């Protein structure tokens, strides 16, 4: 079974600074997808960024980028120019690309990292 670990329960950053959230995962599969979701105080789950394991290029979405290290099974999220609206719980998630598996559809989430942004 796949597992996702976020070792930082809490992180903080000053507004306009850069912060990196860590995520590691364990899998025996070679093809999969990785995601970062944001959960603000409203509790809504919002997709931040996704990465396909077969792509070597790191995904970027505006101020958000990832550092995907497949061999190390590491998938960190970098937030540049942090804004007050970035304050939220961030979840790293894994999804198998194996269509034959009984858990094919599921997202496996890490424990989450609470990000605080200081003005």
Please report, as ranges, the residues that interact with another protein according to CB under 8 A: 32-33, 35, 37, 42-47, 50, 52, 91, 95-99, 101-112
Query: What is the closest distance, in whole angstroms, from the C-beta atom of residue 81 to another protein in the complex?
Result: 24
Exposed (0-12), middle (13-18) or buried (19+): which is 4, by Cβ within 10 Å? buried
Nearer to another protein, 49 or 79 (CB): 49
Q: How far apart are CA 36 and CA 65, in angstroms?
A: 10
* CA distance linking residue 107 with residue 35, whole number of Å: 9
Least Cβ distance, residue 60 to another protein (angstroms): 16
Q: How far is the CB of 32 from another protein (least distance, A)?
A: 8
**Pairwise CA distance, residues 84 & 112, whole Å:** 19
Residue with Cβ nearer another protein (84 or 99): 99
């Amino acid at each position: 079974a796949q597992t996702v670990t976020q070792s930082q329960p809490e992180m903080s950053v000053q507004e306009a600074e850069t912060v990196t959230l860590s995520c590691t995962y364990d899998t025996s599969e070679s093809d999969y997808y990785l995601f970062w979701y944001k959960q603000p105080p409203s509790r809504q789950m919002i997709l931040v960024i996704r990465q396909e394991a077969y792509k070597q290029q790191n995904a970027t979405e505006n101020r958000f980028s990832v550092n995907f290290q497949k061999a190390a099974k590491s998938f960190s999220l970098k937030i540049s120019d942090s804004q007050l609206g970035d304050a939220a719980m961030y979840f790293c998630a894994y999804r198998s690309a194996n269509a034959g598996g009984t858990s094919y559809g599921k997202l496996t989430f890490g424990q989450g990292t609470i990000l605080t942004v200081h003005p």
